[in-house]
Amino acid sequence: MTNELTTDTTFADLGVGPELLAVLNKAGFEEPFPIQAMTIPDGLAGLDVLGKAKTGSGKTLAFGLPIVEGLDPADPFHPKALVLVPTRELAMQVTRDLEPLIAARGLRLVTVYGGASMKDQIDALTAGVELLIATPGRLIDLMERRKARLDEIAVACIDEADQMADMGFMPQVRRIMSAVPDKHQTYLFSATLDSQVQELVDRYMTDPVRHEVESDSETVDTMEHRFLKVHHLDKPKMAAQISRRADRTLMFTRTKWAADDLTRKLRDLGINAVAIHGDLPQQKREQSLTRFREGKATVLVATNVAARGLHIEGVDIVIHYDPPDDPKTYLHRSGRTARAGEEGLVVTLVEWDQVNEVLGIQRRAGLNVPIIKMFSNDERIDDLFSWQPPTELAPFKPGSQRKLRRRRGF
């Protein structure tokens, strides 16, 4: 396990073919990230691969490159490869990453998820696609209609496996995988590999090669974490002031209503904000993401639906407007910034009655950052990234969180 790559490692060294190398070079990907360097050779060799890496570290290409490299032409309704993901947003993100690669080989893919036109998805499957990217519910619907048949799947990937288990998708995953031939290659990728994932490993993997990017912390090293104790009446102004110091800010709320409410308040404060959550029509969600990606909106307010799978270049700040419920959610929300080695700032706004809850999350996540009282007119907001809270106010003794995390398996 390592975080480092030798300086002469290239995608060509890993066995990636010239067609895909041309796509990578055009996109500016010159050297593989650690999880890619470790897993691509085993994937190309046909081995089952179990991969763990911090969010934003390049897992999609780690499984996508060998999958696309090994694809053969497919007949109508009979795709050759399946990538199973928990959310629509992740499905769209995987599609964006892999579309140029599969096009370079003259092959086809289709992405199936709820909220989009089933007719378009069926038309694509009817014409024949080599790669199927799917969320569980819509895929099962298509299987029941005999429009997606998995009896020729040669390689299957379960992406964000821990979230798949957390969201209650295990019955659907079992049903889908039961339709896949016994003899196939399996990838399982996740930011965390805890006990919930073990059932997937035991059921669907054969002597998997395990690769893990070693890290002293579950959080990315290039993130700066700030915890600010705020008054609830000043909270929207605080969020607005922080966001004014960045080109792109992603804010998380616990509920859909809160996301809409915060978006309205930010707009009233002169912030160009858009929202994304499960109650919005798919077209509206995609419009919000597009506006945010293109810089037409500087703030995206989201529920946890956006905590996984979104890769938006240049997210400067993640704000936990409502603190998350657990350290895993904190990790995946925070991972929307500081992706692929970039720097990023993560700010958690803590009301007085949330302090103990947030301290519990810090302890279990291996963080030891003081919670500093602050108002929206504080000069320190101008540069929260450079400002360092006093270390003598750190809430835990050194090493105490690590022991707890090992004990709880996080």
* Mean pLDDT estimate for the chain: 87
Who has greater pLDDT, 239 or 410?
239
pLDDT higher than 90, residue 349: yes
What is the average pLDDT across 361-367? 88
Q: Is residue 85 within 8 Å of residue 160, measured between CB atoms?
A: yes
Q: How confident is the model at residue 251 (pLDDT cuts 50, 70, 90)?
A: very high
Q: What is the pLDDT of residues 252-288, one digit of tens each?
A: 999 999 999 999 999 999 999 999 987 888 788 889 9
State the pLDDT at residue 310. Answer: 63
Q: How confident is the model at residue 186 (pLDDT cuts 50, 70, 90)?
A: very high
Report helix, strand or coil for 227: strand
Domains 11-212 and 223-408 share a fold: yes
pLDDT higher than 70, residue 11: yes
pLDDT higher than 90, residue 170: no
pLDDT higher than 90, residue 5: no
State the pLDDT at residue 8. Answer: 58
Which CATH architecture fits 11-212? Answer: 3-Layer(aba) Sandwich (3.40)
Q: Lowest mean pLDDT: which of 76-85, 96-105, 108-117, 389-398?
A: 389-398
State the pLDDT at residue 113. Answer: 93
Q: What is the pLDDT of residues 308-333, one digit of tens each?
A: 556 677 889 999 999 998 887 888 78
State the pLDDT at residue 338. Answer: 63
State the pLDDT at residue 329. Answer: 83
State the pLDDT at residue 406. Answer: 46
Which homologous superfamily does the CATH classification assign to the domain defined by 223-408?
P-loop containing nucleotide triphosphate hydrolases (3.40.50.300)
Buried b (16+ CB within 10 A) or exposed e, 360-398: ebbbbbbbbbbbbebebeeeebeebbeeebeeeeebbee
pLDDT higher than 60, residue 75: yes
350: β partners: 229
Domain boundaries, the chain: 11-212, 223-408
Sheet holding 81-84, edge to edge: 109-112, 131-134, 81-84, 155-159, 185-190, 49-52, 209-212
What is the average pLDDT across 217-244? 86
Burial class (CB in 10 A: 0-12, 13-18, 19+), 171: exposed
Q: Kindly report the backbone phi and psi dihedral angles of residue 183, in degrees, each rounded to the nearest multiple of 5, phi listed first.
A: -90, 95
Q: How confident is the model at residue 200 (pLDDT cuts 50, 70, 90)?
A: confident
Q: How confident is the model at residue 115 (pLDDT cuts 50, 70, 90)?
A: confident
Percent of the chain at pLDDT above 70? Answer: 88
